[in-house]
Amino acid sequence: MPDADDGFAELWDAHYDDVLSYAARRVDHETARDVAAETFLIAWRRRNDIPADRTFPWLLNVARNVLANEARGHRRRGLLWGRLRDDRDRHAPVADVATGLAEGGRIGAALRRLSARDREALQLVGWEELDTKDAAVVAGCSVKTFSVRLHRARRRLSAVLAELDAEEYRPPIASLQGSRQS
């Protein structure tokens, strides 16, 4: 009976560690594992194109191309994140810069106290300006479920903002103790 994998298991056994080492010398270990896996996926798909006398160099060439694709993707993602940050900053309506900074810090502090699910619901509607139908698609739930989630998140945000306001106007304990001793 002929070998079902056309000798691919032997190719894997003979060269996987070397391909992984090649990639690990160029990128972090987790990315290197992804590069090695992608290299052997391509090798599996193109196993009839692998030259029998130049197997290892062919694999390293594939790994090199996978690394190049990874680097291009990394650059594109970085540029996209930069554009998204710039776009958000440009379209943020702020009547007064000082008030906007103070309010942004207050809201940011309140959001950090909320759960990830509450933050996501509020940010999808507030920052991404999605309606509840579109936000529900992003969140992976029904419109009704998202509406309830958003309502609860708004309630929790209001409570946290009230706590922050109370903390801001609460006099320090040391000053209270000093006034009692006078």
Residue 136 three-state SS: helix
pLDDT beyond 60 at 182: no
pLDDT of 1 reads 39
Q: What is the pLDDT of residue 34?
A: 96
Task: Please give the average per-residue pLDDT across 161-172, as a whole number.
Answer: 77
Share of the chain above pLDDT 90, in %: 35
Tens digit of pLDDT for each residue in 37-92? 999 999 999 988 998 888 888 899 899 899 999 988 888 888 888 877 776 655 55
Question: What pLDDT, on the 0 to 100 scale, is given for residue 157?
Answer: 92
Q: Report which residue type is found at 83.
A: R
Other beta carbons within 10 Å of 22 = 20
Of the candidates 116, 118, 119, 89, the residue with the CA atom closest to the CA atom of residue 101: 89
Q: Which residue has the higher pLDDT, 21 or 124?
A: 21
Q: Are 7 and 55 in contact (CB under 8 A)?
A: no
Model pLDDT, residue 99? 47
pLDDT the model gives residue 177:
56
On the question of pLDDT at 95 being above 90, the answer is no
pLDDT of residue 77: 84
pLDDT class of 11 with cuts at 50, 70, 90: very high
Q: Which residue has the higher pLDDT, 141 or 91?
A: 141
